[in-house]
Structure 1
């Protein structure tokens, strides 16, 4: 009996997710309860597939529009009554659209009711699953949305094909494109440099400024400042001669110690953190410095630095060996006396050195006059062992020249006036101003112009 409806034109209203289908009945499968239509339209849009199969549980309402004979005649005379809307087809209003759809649906209707609680996407055959997902909610929605079908009538099948990104990426020849770009003569504008008020527009021909000349080629070594000024190294004998001439003019040892002690304290405070570490709001993190001083003028410089650091609120412990107290010079004794008035800690034995964390160690144990003999003292050896165990940054004040090495392994070293030729174990180097007039430099055969600028202590670097 089902064969008598073959070829008839029907309108099938499915569940909400599938929408409405129209077409010619191609076959009816009573076993699987399925209906196949050809020349199918889904919600007024022609399907891409030649045939669509719909299961009986998905059908809500079925109307017979034309008999098999009428449908056959219509197919012969016309392309198809339910053809896909074109861009030229326009409707003045939704009312005109509804009237046209009513004319298409005028026919005796036979209704078939069906119910289902299963997922519609699982009930559809593979042929109509793609079209089923594209359907509207109901017939009323399909009528209302048809005027916008031109925007959303793309091939639904294309949306279900997985895009091959890797294959598409291989189509782009990156190397060839870059060769094409690099082959073009592209004029690039050079950005204009903006100068500060203190910069020269015309660069100097010589980047290294040799404004200090010693007239002695016996020491073949020199250093550079951040400004590119060349500072030649001098021998220890010439430096002693320079300091003696300065003392004759009035720049005494005491004045030189005060000047260099201030520079050493400034360098140490900057290395400890400067304003970030030394301010009233950070009193709970007061730096702790240990100063090791030998019984010689270089040790007096370390004691002077310890006193100036203590006056800046830094916690200081000063060590001066006890075994050589009888050999103290008057300058050393005077510096110790002034330091004791600060109330900071003063010890005479290596055993009393702190075992806890120390921020920095300042070394003034080396002497230029008897370097090897000084480093053989038991207190110097014990101090070196203590510093190595502590693993704290060490600052050497006025270390000995080559071929001697500092008693402790310093991270930084501070030289006075003009640098000596130091060993490679002296660490990063700094230079302190001693405020000696140019006239004194000329007396010892040195053409001198201050490299310090607005500072009292500057970093210097070994010149290759």
Structure 2
């Protein structure tokens, strides 16, 4: 945890959290306060869609979606974009039958809309925007298999990339790249910024997913609501004094 890791344009310090601390935030929000994963996923997806719409006009969007919470947020984002008549293609990193829980629910909803959902990116044309919703703060070691191939495709595509929460392949706590990784133009991170995002050069936007302030108080994370009357806010990483380790 780093209470002074990030700062809003108005000068408010925002705490950076490790992956483990973010797991605690999610656990307490769900188990002790009753906030559902689906609720947070919907907030994430809608916020991500807003960022996507800010980056493209009527150009096609490709959403790369994994099987975890990040993938579910990406699927919700795709639905919001489709509802606004933005041409969108979803590329899953696994077969649909392998999706579970609320992520499967997001998939089935999008599938009923008859949107383009694929598991092979090789025939996908280069879009105006790639939305990276493959792997969030749960990364453990280098990417392998389909996620790695999708990351390589996104890195090779001559287009803008928007990442959800943490760029896929980046360690959320340290910012290190244990293998292939996405280097987006913008990262839309959720609830609190992750300490590893201090190392990313991408534009950083913090999104509100309706976590109660009391959740942070329960865990002991210093928190002053940074959003004001908005639902997202831009962040800058603060600079460490010489010789200081964060």
- Place the TM-score, normalised by the shorter chain, in its bin: 0.7 to 0.9
Contact 1:311 / 1:342 at 8 angstroms: preserved in 2? no
Tell me the residue number matched to 1:243.
26
Tell me the residue number matched to 1:262.
46
Tell me the residue number matched to 1:387.
154
In the alignment of these two chains, the number of paired residues is 230
Q: Measure the CA separation in 1 of the matches of 2:72 and 2:188.
A: 15
Contact 1:366 / 1:407 at 8 angstroms: preserved in 2? no
- 1:222 equivalent in alignment to 2:12: no
Which of 410, 424, 432 is equivalent to 2:184?
410
Contact 1:433 / 1:456 at 8 angstroms: preserved in 2? yes
Q: Relative to structure 1, is the Cα distance of residues 292 and 241 closer, same or farther in structure 2, using a 3 angstrom cutoff? A: same
Deviation at 1:220, TM superposition (A): 7.1
Greater Rg, structure 1 or structure 2? 1
Q: Relative to structure 1, is the Cα distance of residues 220 and 245 closer, same or farther in structure 2, using a 3 angstrom cutoff? A: closer
Tell me the residue number matched to 1:369.
138
Tell me the residue number matched to 1:462.
237
Q: More deviation in 342-351 or 451-460? A: 342-351
Tell me the residue number matched to 1:288.
60
Tell me the residue number matched to 2:243.
none
Tell me the residue number matched to 1:432.
207
Deviation at 1:306, TM superposition (A): 1.0
Which one scores higher on RCO, CA 8 angstroms, separation ≥ 6? 2
Residue segments in structure 1 that go unaligned for 5+ positions in a row? 1-217, 278-285
Contact 1:340 / 1:346 at 8 angstroms: preserved in 2? yes
Counterparts of residues 32-431 of structure 1 (less than 5 Å): 219=2, 222-248=5-31, 249-272=33-56, 277=57, 286-322=58-94, 325=96, 327-354=98-125, 357-373=126-142, 375-377=143-145, 379-399=146-166, 400-401=171-172, 402-405=174-177, 407-423=181-197, 424-425=199-200, 427-431=202-206
SS at match of 1:352: coil
What RMSD over aligned residues (CA atoms) do the two structures have, in Å?
A: 2.1
Q: Measure the CA separation in 2 of the matches of 1:250 and 1:239.
A: 17
Q: Measure the CA separation in 1 of the matches of 2:27 and 2:118.
A: 33
Contact 2:136 / 2:164 at 8 angstroms: preserved in 1? no
Residue segments in structure 2 that go unaligned for 5+ positions in a row? 240-246
Q: Relative to structure 1, is the Cα distance of residues 462 and 370 closer, same or farther in structure 2, using a 3 angstrom cutoff? A: closer
Contact 2:66 / 2:135 at 8 angstroms: preserved in 1? yes
Which of 205, 216, 223 is equivalent to 1:441?
216
SS at match of 1:244: helix
Contact 2:67 / 2:103 at 8 angstroms: preserved in 1? yes
Deviation at 1:426, TM superposition (A): 5.3
Q: Relative to structure 1, is the Cα distance of residues 417 and 408 closer, same or farther in structure 2, using a 3 angstrom cutoff? A: same
How high is the TM-score relative to the length of structure 2?
0.85
